[in-house]
Amino acid sequence: MRLIHNLISKRVKNLSPYLFVEISRKIAEKRAKGEAVISFAIGDPDIPTPSHIIDRLLQAAQDPANHRYPETDGLPELRQAIAEWYKRRFGVSLDADSEVLPLIGAKEGIAHIALCFIDPGDIALVPDPAYPVYSISTALAGGEPYYMPISEKNNFLPDLKAIPDDIWERAKLLWLSYPNNPTGAVAELDFFNRVVELAHKHDVAICHDGPYTEITYDGYQPVSFMQADGAKEVGVEFHSLSKSYNMTGWRIGMVVGNPIMVDALKRVKSNLDSGIPQAIQYAAIEALTGSQDCIHEHNAIYQRRRDLVIELLNSIGLEAKPPKAGLYIWAKVPQGYTSVDFATDLLETVGVAVTPGIGYGQNGEGYVRLSLTIPDASLVKGLSRLAEWRSLRARPRVKE
């Protein structure tokens, strides 16, 4: 055993321990003891995939033509459906053959694109806090993430002017993601236009991750990075059917934009995977081209949950602002707690799981993330447990 351990590569040995493991372990422990844990910790839609999409999947599964190896670059009809969706949603024109590539979920493409750009010693500019895959894939490729702090002070947009020249020189990729996970922040077109200018100035390719553009509240309309002037000359956008159509379990997403970047990723993928099961591709075509009513229905549910969570959090003294888009509430932890202390205390005293902000980067300290992807009944129960936590903790503190 020990010997095998010694054989593990440095790149795997150096993988930072996955912070959520500890929380997951504690949740499992509690559940094993028969205690009901209510988890706000995971961003995985609780609402099923809409039935018209599943019907198409079942029908396609019956067809023997879909039982064989798919092509790496997906069905031409799927690439076309993605291009048409971008046109309809954002007014962005894409060439379905050279500027669109379906993925086995956005995460797969996000992880593999590092292999296309990052050599040992290269830098990827990564927001802090952020979805962990941007920095992990950079490190696995032998590169270094350079963290750009985002905080309430700068509306959770990185201060690109503050990046030193020697860092720009070594940087090959710049990662951004709006509507943002975990902070719930949004970016507007003028920001993306400035990003394109800086990409030209510093010779850096842009990777924008935008899986939450369809989950919006109060009529807000997020922009796509691809709408920026000249975006296609400098970068790509990752997108996904996971969050828009409750399809996390089916694993399908896409990358669109710069044809050289798309081609590089296609080359890596064609050597590593054998495409997306075709029945799932047909389901994705149905999702993108069929009725979009489900999106509005889901958003109405999330918006109601968002308002309940925000109201309760603010009433117990945890400062949180209602996000305009996305699935997450980014709440400040009470004075005197780290994000891990607070998450642990909630779990131990009232059986509520939230994600500590530090899991998304140093700059996520002081916050916890709550996901809106839990059924209404559990959500309401979870909120009353949070209120209970407040009264439990308020008592000794007042006396102190």
- Please report, as ranges, the residues that interact with ligand PLP according to CB under 6 A: 43, 105-107, 131, 177, 181, 209, 211, 240, 242-243, 248, 253
DSSP helix/strand/coil, 336: coil
Q: How far is the CB of 329 from ligand PLP (least distance, A)?
A: 14
CB nearer ligand PLP, residue 135 or residue 181: 181
Residue 391, both tokens = 């009264």
Distance in angstroms (rounded) separating the CA atoms of residues 81 and 328: 28
Q: What is the DSSP letter of 42?
A: -
DSSP helix/strand/coil, 205: strand
Q: How far is the CB of 122 from ligand PLP (least distance, A)?
A: 22
CB nearer ligand PLP, residue 351 or residue 357: 357
Smallest Cα–Cα separation from 23: which of 337, 352, 255, 377?
A: 352
Residues 6+ apart with CB under 8 A from 252: 102, 103, 104, 105, 240, 241, 242, 276, 280, 281, 283, 284
Which residues pair with residue 38 across a beta bridge? 352
CB nearer ligand PLP, residue 117 or residue 389: 117
Look-up: residue for tokens 């149905």? 286
Q: How far is the CB of 242 from ligand PLP (least distance, A)?
A: 3
- Our measurement of the distance from residue 315's CA atom to the centroid of its chain's CA atoms, rounded to an integer in Å, reads 28
CB nearer ligand PLP, residue 326 or residue 382: 326
Q: How far is the CB of 104 from ligand PLP (least distance, A)?
A: 8
Smallest Cα–Cα separation from 180: which of 248, 113, 129?
A: 129
Which residues pair with residue 146 across a beta bridge? 125
Q: How far is the CB of 209 from ligand PLP (least distance, A)?
A: 5
Q: How far is the CB of 19 from ligand PLP (least distance, A)?
A: 16
Q: How far is the CB of 280 from ligand PLP (least distance, A)?
A: 12
Q: What is the DSSP letter of 150?
A: -
CB nearer ligand PLP, residue 168 or residue 180: 180
Distance in angstroms (rounded) separating the CA atoms of residues 248 and 202: 36
Q: Which helix (H) or strand (E) holds 172?
A: strand 171-176
CB nearer ligand PLP, residue 105 or residue 351: 105
Q: How far is the CB of 243 from ligand PLP (least distance, A)?
A: 6
202 in Cβ contact with 164 (< 8 Å) = no
CB nearer ligand PLP, residue 351 or residue 359: 359
CB nearer ligand PLP, residue 66 or residue 137: 137
Residues 6+ apart with CB under 8 A from 273: 72, 104, 108
Distance in angstroms (rounded) separating the CA atoms of residues 277 and 249: 13
Q: How far is the CB of 306 from ligand PLP (least distance, A)?
A: 16
State the residue number with the nearest CB to ligand PLP: 105
373 in Cβ contact with 243 (< 8 Å) = no
Residue 231, both tokens = 């975006």
Amino acid at 342: F
CB nearer ligand PLP, residue 298 or residue 390: 298
CB nearer ligand PLP, residue 286 or residue 350: 286
Q: How far is the CB of 348 from ligand PLP (least distance, A)?
A: 27
